Chains A and B, each alone.
Chain A
Amino acid sequence: MRFYDIHIHSDASIGENSVEEIVKQAERLGLKGIAITDYFSSLKDIKQLKERISNINTDIDISIGAIVRAETSDQLKKMVRNVRKHVELVLVHGGDYRINREAVEMPEVDVLCHPELDRRDCGMDHITVKSAAENKVAIEINFREILESFKKHRVYVISNMKKNIFLAKKYEAPIIVTSGAASIWGMRAGRELAAFAFLLGLPLADAINTVSVVPEKIIEVNREKLAGKRFPGVREVDE
């Protein structure tokens, strides 16, 4: 099975480990592809990371993602448009309902990360999930949130994630499960992440797709767009 983990932080922002260490760990865990996702402060940082990745000799499919953390919707739009042409994945740091809603209404966004972060409710409603399905913005289930919470807090986190999965299933919005790791010890193998998706209410086949087919497809589509082979409504096909 080709498993992907598309939310891993490196030492370029909040992560503890270098890209080389992350790749080594991904090889041990049997992942097919990973995405190094960070909070970039400038386009120069993205260039530097690209150079570092190009020097690594590995079979693992490595892509770069930018996590956008914004306070207002205008700021979010601006930041997303700035980074879109330079990275394969654009993720939005969710948690604030207004940001969640704005993010799912933008087709440029690929993933809405942890919409239930630091909230008492699940951060999503029928309107946002419908928009996510229309614009193909994947809703993320972040494993780090479960891993780093305990007892009562963990109960609330799991309960909110279940509500999000229920709504996403209902409106057929894409769901992905990621480790959200900030160190190599927070990374997990694909099948273990799928087990969590299963426990949160997805059928097993769909749960496995959340860590394999869905992220692979997102990366493939974005690579075609960056290479100029895909435009809205049109795709160039090789003979």
Chain B
Amino acid sequence: MEDKPKTLPASLRAKRRYIIFEVVSEKPIDYIELVGAIWRSFLDFLGELKTSELNFWLIKNLYDPKTQRGIIRCSPDQVEYVRAALSLIDQIGETRALIKVNSVTGTIKSAKKKYLGFTDLTDFEK
């Protein structure tokens, strides 16, 4: 028996939205600093209880430090809360920066294809 729960049936699975964002900054931003800034903003602005409802996840292997674009996964009815909390970021680490939301998609595949410029999707099906 595996040491993790089985995947839930489709009807019980939580629905998701994928928010494609872009970091606009003076200097390049690395992933760890970005994660810290996002968590701080969420916890300060929305609090622990509301953040727990977001089902928020920053997808690590899809953050590109060159273009500074990435994907955040969240619950469909909480997208506006995530947008609002992201807009309150004005500094990441020591650098002045802001986060701009490019689009919201329903599947990770379309997010990669349309906004992150992946042509060969087979490498990233993880």
Chain A residues with a Cβ under 8 A of chain B: 96-98, 101, 121-128, 151-152, 154-156, 158-159, 162-163, 167, 170, 199
Number of residue pairs across A and B with beta carbons under 8 Å? Answer: 48
Chain A residues positioned under 8 Å from B53 (CB to CB): 159, 162
- Complex contact B5–A158 (CB within 8 A): no
- Complex contact B8–A199 (CB within 8 A): no
- Complex contact B52–A155 (CB within 8 A): yes
CA–CA, A39 and B6, complex, Å: 30
CA–CA, A70 and B103, complex, Å: 48
In the complex, B125 has a CB within 8 A of chain A: no
Q: Which of B1-29 contact A (CB under 8 A)?
A: 1-9, 12, 14
For A163, give the chain B residue with the smallest CB separation: B14
In the complex, B121 has a CB within 8 A of chain A: no
In the complex, B49 has a CB within 8 A of chain A: yes
- Complex contact A121–B43 (CB within 8 A): no
Q: Would you give 12 A-B contacts (Cβ < 8 Å), ordered by A?
A: A97-B2, A97-B5, A98-B3, A101-B1, A121-B5, A125-B6, A151-B39, A151-B48, A152-B43, A154-B48, A155-B51, A158-B52
Chain B residues with a Cβ under 8 A of chain A: 1-9, 12, 14, 39, 43, 48-49, 51-53, 55
Chain B residues positioned under 8 Å from A152 (CB to CB): 39, 43
- Complex contact B6–A155 (CB within 8 A): no
- Complex contact A128–B5 (CB within 8 A): yes
For A201, give the chain B residue with the smallest CB separation: B53
Chain B residues positioned under 8 Å from A151 (CB to CB): 39, 43, 48
For B56, give the chain A residue with the smallest CB separation: A155
Chain B residues positioned under 8 Å from A122 (CB to CB): 5
- Complex contact A96–B8 (CB within 8 A): no
Chain A residues positioned under 8 Å from B14 (CB to CB): 163
CA–CA, A159 and B73, complex, Å: 15
Chain B residues positioned under 8 Å from A128 (CB to CB): 5
CA–CA, A128 and B6, complex, Å: 10
- Complex contact A126–B8 (CB within 8 A): yes
Chain B residues positioned under 8 Å from A162 (CB to CB): 52-53
CA–CA, A102 and B78, complex, Å: 36
For A150, give the chain B residue with the smallest CB separation: B48
CA–CA, A121 and B3, complex, Å: 11
CA–CA, A155 and B2, complex, Å: 26
For A162, give the chain B residue with the smallest CB separation: B52
Distance (whole angstroms) from the CB of B23 to the closest CB of chain A:
20
Distance (whole angstroms) from the CB of B90 to the closest CB of chain A:
21
Chain B residues positioned under 8 Å from A101 (CB to CB): 1
- Complex contact B48–A155 (CB within 8 A): yes
